[in-house]
Structure 1
Amino acid sequence: MSRIDESREFIPVRIAVLTVSDTRELAEDRSGDVLVARLTEAGHVLAKREIVRDERGDIAQQLRDWVASGEVDVIISTGGTGLTGRDVTVEAHRDVYEKEIDAFGTLFTMISFGKIGTSAVQSRATAGVAGGCYLFALPGSPGACKDGWDDILKWQLDYRHRPCNFVEIMPRLEEHKRRK
């Protein structure tokens, strides 16, 4: 059973929030605001925040820049995970991933199904790893961001979470580069 091990010290991680939208400005970015509020309330550090247009190359480049910066441990994007022609966030993420975290999308769909029923099938939430950084793509609604954070990321980004979590394996994400 999942639990927080109070004998372990909390380790804050540096999280970047990327909103993908052709129409939103920072002042109207409710989904980004939800993520920023939740991650800071949890004790993490907001490392970066940007809004990028629904352009596959622009999204992928922003992800690559943050991964390469060394200033970000986790990137959470919101928006562009649907089925329309302008929804290219998933493809942009996959252009950057070294490894995909397949179960993230599955778990997100299970959680969404419990809240919005069969409409959950329209989301393509995804996650992966690149350059020692975790990347998560959530749908663009505030509700989806709440679900993704409250039911998955809050726990997996907490070093105290048992039986395992993403933070404890963070130092080993690039161990393949150290092999001789």
Structure 2
Amino acid sequence: MQPSAGPALPHTHSRAVHWITTALAVAALVGATALVQPADATPKAAARPATPSGPPVAAPNANAAHYPLTCAPGVKVDVVSHVSADLDGDGRPETAVVVRCDSETGTPPSGVYVLSAPAHPGGAPKIAVTLVDPKDDRQISDFRLDGDTVKATVLGFSSDDVARCCPDMKRTYTWEWRGDRYVALPGPAAGAV
């Protein structure tokens, strides 16, 4: 760069006071930017807490859910059994439930569902997943919770000729949350019940 012709202008000389003033202005701008955020902004660390804060969350009510069963007119859904725990590790309890159409005689097929919290306060719990579909014509016994896994004995029929009162096949199942879904872990198949 060539020197300018004529005398040096006073505003072209940088002094320590200029650098300090510039540094303070930049620091004030950075600080103000960090403090001013949109009203709906949340820090990333608070987006998914390890444990929920505040009072404990109640488990979904098994009797308040709507189940996809096709029962005869006037026949209600019977909640046979249910267990509640934080099954998927998200800090909120889920409820695993065995249901079937209520019957004075016979043994209608059972369904096993996992319920999660209602979409809005006061609403019905949501069915998060179906573990055993009633359409598969199964019956459930020994339904229980072991830590955060659901266990049951699933009873079935070797053929359509077997009376629905008397399942002749059984297998134990464990359902575990792995990653982003429930995984069914069947035990060995057994013959006659």
TM-score, with structure 1 as normaliser = 0.24
Larger helix share, 1 or 2: 1
TM-score, with structure 2 as normaliser = 0.23
- The structure with more radius of gyration: 2
Larger strand share, 1 or 2: 2
Higher RCO, 1 vs 2 (CA within 8 Å, ≥6 residues apart): 1
